[in-house]
């Protein structure tokens, strides 16, 4: 049997004996079990109390019903043909028999036979030596892997399913597989089992206490703790690039940052971040900050900091976000600097809004934005990744019903959806670490930002789901804004279209195909890594690669095969692209010289938590 990766010499040298799984102090263990039950009761109370008061209404049924319907369609395909069903059952039975035969062989001769199935490279769940050395845990591991891969194969080979149902089935199978992994349970995870025995159950007491705290923090819903949040404070050690608030509307604050050079590019830079998360992903700390780096390159940087909406903003639509966010930002830049010509950056859904706004403004004769840069932005949603799992008529209607009760979608709902896209990394490791091992997570600025949830204004979010994910109206030239039908063909300014190779939110293929809908020249650049790390990759880190090539047309894989691979960050490449459009410099501009400021950056809107 093959050995699993070494997770520590001290563990690897420990003999695999029954003694390490036997309770040494039954009295103390029993006492801790009682304390654990007491803390579990507090967790249950934290969950039940807001529901009894009517503060929380569960909408769990909708996603569960959708999952059941999806699995029913999958089952119907396999069971409708007896021969097909028999073949599927035979494959599973054969896998189990191989695992069983290996286990019997090992017990009889004590040898190390080859595993029937091995974890995928990079799978961290089964690194403890006992997963390969102890026959019981090794059997559990292999049986689980055989089952989960068999279930995934059922989805992949269900030829009768439409693509949306297949996509949902694959996603739900992944969620269920991640949830039932033996690494998630005390009695089936050797490391958890040992820690529980060694501490006489004190880890479970701490874990249940943390669970109660996290349900209380979520006001009745679990707000999974992914980092030590006490180590961070916005404006103190996050979002620290110096600047001022120079404008404030109902939906946005406009921030202008202090210059770091004697001269600056004549064209100011306006950044439109997503409102699904907060803007300081681009200003986490001085070493990672794109905003600070751009200032140091000579940009006069303005950033839109979106409001964290509440019931007052329920009717704020995409048009409101364009008028009171993007256009308001352009007006503010003109007052602050006297400049009309602007370079603009849009990130994720902020980029989608920017693209739609550019199409609208082109029709209205507003041509102040002279170049557009899109960070991992989709304008065509044909291949929109796993988020499409949550979008069909029934699910969108259910979300709209929930939003209309308050005027917004709770921030925890969006956070959970994004975490589910990578549940093996962003959910279950923290469930195990926090609530079973009873250990506090480590400080991590990125995960603090990830947990700093934002609500979704009802009208805004409904428009986005229907017009983009559900009906794909923007790329088809059918989106209606301000009484006009807008077309991306009217966007004729230069476009820098950045995708990231491992993006699960805005897939590289989706961004590539979206390039053809713009009416002007598009430079498509592919960064290494994913939706966040691919963008937030300062040159000093010397990490990843990026690819540049010809016109983004034809087959994506053929484009990539011919593209030039560059080591490191794309940031400097983008800077050269910007300067090639207009490198005129003027004396540096300080915030507040031509208008009253409203406080220091990062402002007040970004500090509103849910």
Indicate which residues carry an active-site annotation. Answer: 348
Strand partners, 585: 265
Tokens for 392, please give them.
Answer: 């069909």
- How wide is the angle at C-alpha 226 spanned by C-alphas 220 and 230, nearest 5°? 90
Residues in the chain: 610
CA–CA separation, 128 vs 137, rounded Å? 10
Mapped onto helix, strand or coil, the DSSP state of residue 139 is helix
CA–CA separation, 448 vs 457, rounded Å? 22
Please report how the helices 190-198 and 202-217 are oriented relative to each other, as an axis angle in degrees rounded to 10: 110
55 DSSP assignment: S
First to last CA, the chain: 50
Q: Bin 119: left if φ > 0, else alpha if -120 < ψ < 50, else beta.
A: beta
CA–CA separation, 579 vs 523, rounded Å? 14
Q: What share of residues in the chain are helix, strand, coil (percent, to 5)?
A: 50, 10, 35
Tokens for 580, please give them.
Answer: 């090639």
543 half-sphere exposure, CB direction, 13 A CA radius = 12
Cβ-contact 349, 374 below 8 angstroms: no
Tokens for 136, please give them.
Answer: 């019981």
Tokens for 394, please give them.
Answer: 């029934």
Peptide bond into 7 cis (omega under 30): no
Number of neighbours of residue 53 by Cβ within 10 angstroms: 9
What is the dihedral angle through the alpha carbons of 481, 487, 400, 390, rounded to the nearest 10 degrees? Answer: -160
Cβ-contact 336, 261 below 8 angstroms: no
Cβ-proximal residues to 116 (8 Å cutoff; 6+ apart), any chain: 95, 98, 99, 102, 142, 146
Residue 385: which of 267, 484, 502, 241 has the closest Cα? Answer: 502
Tokens for 533, please give them.
Answer: 């790390």
Cβ-contact 492, 368 below 8 angstroms: no
CA 412 to chain centre: 13
With residue 208 as reference, give the H or E element that holds it: helix 202-217
Strand partners, 503: none
b/e 378-403 (16+ beta carbons within 10 angstroms → b): bbbbebbbbbbbbbeeebbebbbebb
Residue 477: which of 466, 487, 468, 469 has the closest Cα? Answer: 487
With residue 497 as reference, give the H or E element that holds it: strand 495-500
């Amino acid at each position: 049997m093959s050995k699993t990766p070494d997770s520590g010499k001290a563990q690897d040298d420990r003999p695999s004996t029954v003694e390490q799984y036997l309770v040494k102090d039954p009295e103390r263990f029993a006492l801790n079990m009682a304390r654990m039950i007491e803390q579990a009761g507090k967790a249950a109370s934290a969950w039940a109390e807001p529901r009894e008061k009517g503060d929380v209404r569960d909408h769990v049924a909708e996603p569960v019903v959708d999952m059941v319907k999806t699995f029913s369609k999958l089952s119907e395909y396999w069971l409708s043909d007896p021969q097909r069903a028999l073949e599927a059952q035979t494959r599973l039975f054969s896998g189990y028999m191989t695992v069983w035969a290996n286990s019997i062989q090992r017990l009889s001769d004590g040898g190390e036979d080859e595993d029937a199935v091995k974890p995928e490279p990079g799978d961290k769940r089964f690194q403890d030596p006992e997963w390969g050395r102890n026959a019981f845990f090794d059997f559990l591991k292999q049986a689980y892997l055989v089952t989960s891969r068999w279930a995934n194969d059922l989805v992949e080979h269900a030829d009768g399913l439409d693509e949306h149902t297949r996509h949902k089935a694959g996603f739900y199978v992944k969620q269920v597989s991640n949830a039932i992994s033996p690494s998630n349970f005390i009695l089936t995870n050797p490391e958890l089992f040992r820690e529980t025995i060694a501490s006489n159950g004190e880890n479970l007491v701490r874990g249940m206490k943390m669970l109660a705290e996290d349900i209380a923090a979520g006001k009745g819903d679990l707000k999974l703790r992914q980092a030590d949040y006490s180590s961070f404070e916005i404006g103190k050690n996050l979002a620290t690039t110096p600047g001022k608030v120079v404008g404030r509307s109902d939906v946005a604050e406009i921030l202008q940052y202090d210059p770091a050079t004697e001269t600056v590019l004549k064209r100011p830079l306006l950044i439109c971040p997503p409102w699904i998360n907060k803007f300081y992903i681009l200003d986490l700390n001085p070493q990672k900050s794109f905003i600070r780096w751009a200032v140091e390159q000579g940009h006069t940087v303005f950033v839109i900091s979106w409001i964290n909406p509440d019931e007052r903003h329920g009717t704020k639509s995409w048009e409101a976000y364009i008028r009171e966010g993007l256009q308001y930002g352009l007006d503010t830049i003109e007052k602050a600097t006297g400049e009309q010509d602007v370079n603009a950056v849009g990130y994720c859904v902020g980029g989608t809004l920017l693209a739609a706004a550019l199409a609208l403004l082109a029709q209205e004769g507003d041509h102040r934005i002279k170049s557009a840069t899109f960070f991992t932005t989709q304008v065509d949603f044909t291949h929109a990744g796993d988020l499409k799992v949550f979008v069909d008529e029934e699910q969108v209607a259910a979300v709209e019903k929930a939003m209309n009760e308050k005027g917004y979608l709770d921030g925890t709902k969006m956070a959970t959806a994004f975490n589910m896209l990578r549940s093996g990394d962003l959910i279950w490791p923290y469930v195990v670490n926090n609530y079973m091992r009873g250990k506090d997570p480590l400080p991590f600025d990125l995960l603090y930002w990830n947990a700093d949830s934002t609500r979704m204004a009802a009208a805004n979010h409904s428009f986005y789901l229907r017009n983009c994910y559900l009906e794909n109206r923007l790329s088809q030239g059918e989106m209606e804004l301000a009484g006009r039908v807008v077309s991306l063909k009217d966007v004729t300014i230069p476009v820098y279209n950045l995708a990231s190779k491992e993006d699960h939110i805005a897939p590289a293929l989706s961004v590539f195909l979206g390039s053809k809908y713009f009416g002007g020249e598009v430079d498509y650049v592919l960064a290494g890594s994913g939706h966040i790390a691919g963008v937030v990759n300062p040159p000093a880190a010397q990490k990843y690669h990026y690819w540049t090539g010809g016109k983004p047309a034809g087959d994506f894989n053929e484009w990539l095969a011919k593209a030039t691979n560059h080591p490191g960050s794309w940031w400097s490449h983008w800077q050269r692209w910007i300067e090639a459009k207009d490198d005129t410099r003027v004396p540096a501009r300080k915030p507040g010289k031509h208008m009253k400021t409203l406080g220091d950056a990062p402002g007040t809107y970004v500090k509103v938590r849910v």
